[in-house]
Amino acid sequence: MSSRPPSPTSPLSPIAPFPPPSSSESPASPPRTRAREVYGFVAYCGTLLLFVLYVAWAVTPDEWLERAGIDWYPNREWAILLPAWSMVIVLLTYLTYFGLALSATPSFTDLTTITDTRAHILKMQGDYNPLLAYAKPDAVPHEFDIPLGTVNRVLYGKRPRPTASQPSQSAT
């Protein structure tokens, strides 16, 4: 008996592609695995069961629970304390995240608010400005960072620098 090697699409084949190719060529076809659906369904059912037990414990009178044979359960004040503390933890998480983001933000006088080590700025070649090549309507520009001075000139135009003889506007 001769054993045939497994086909290349068999999971037993050493050259089997992973993940297996889908039967349809459409990129919108759903994946073959249903693990996400199963995990989602189990999480939904578990959460629903825990919520029903929580509400039943919170609103059922003590006599009914004792008649059902449940003689130990947490104090009813935890029915209010758990959601309240949960909301406090959520709010503190947001405030902590906001505070960490503010503390990591450089001050306005720091140079890192203008540029950083990963900036890709075009180099000037003498009097020629390489940005002019992208002014043509059919030109597709490369990705690069625009210098802050260029952005300010485009947005606000050229303004004359105040000289010592001109009074500044802030003094008026």
Q: What is the pLDDT of residues 112-127, one digit of tens each?
A: 888 878 887 777 677 7
Asked, for residue 41, whether it belongs to a domain, the answer is yes
Total count of domains within the chain: 3
Q: Are residues 115 and 91 in the same domain?
A: no
Q: What three-state secondary structure class fits 121?
A: strand
DSSP-based helix, strand, coil % in the chain, nearest 5: 45, 0, 50
Residue 18 is assigned to a structural domain of this protein: no
What confidence tier does 46 reach under pLDDT thresholds 50, 70, 90?
very high
Token pair 């690069």 is at which residue? 144
Range of 99's domain? Answer: 75-105
Does the reported pTM lie above 0.75?
Answer: no
Residue 2 has pLDDT above 70, yes or no: no
Distance (Å, whole) CA 168 – CA 8: 79
Average pLDDT over residues 103-118: 84
Average of pLDDT values for 33-47? Answer: 91
Is 134 in contact with 144 (CB distance < 8 Å)?
no
Q: For the chain, give the mean pLDDT.
A: 80
165 belongs to a structural domain: no
Identify any residues that bridge with 93 across adjacent strands, giving them in sequence order: none
Higher pLDDT, 153 or 84: 84
Q: Is residue 55 part of a domain?
A: yes
Residue 101, in any domain of the structure: yes
Give residue-wise pLDDT tens across range 76-101: 899 999 999 999 999 999 999 999 99
- What whole-number distance in Å separates Cα of residue 101 and Cα of residue 17? 43
The top-scoring range by mean pLDDT among 3-7, 66-70, 83-87, 149-153 is 83-87
Distances (CA, A) of 91 to 77, 100, 105, 170: 21, 14, 21, 42
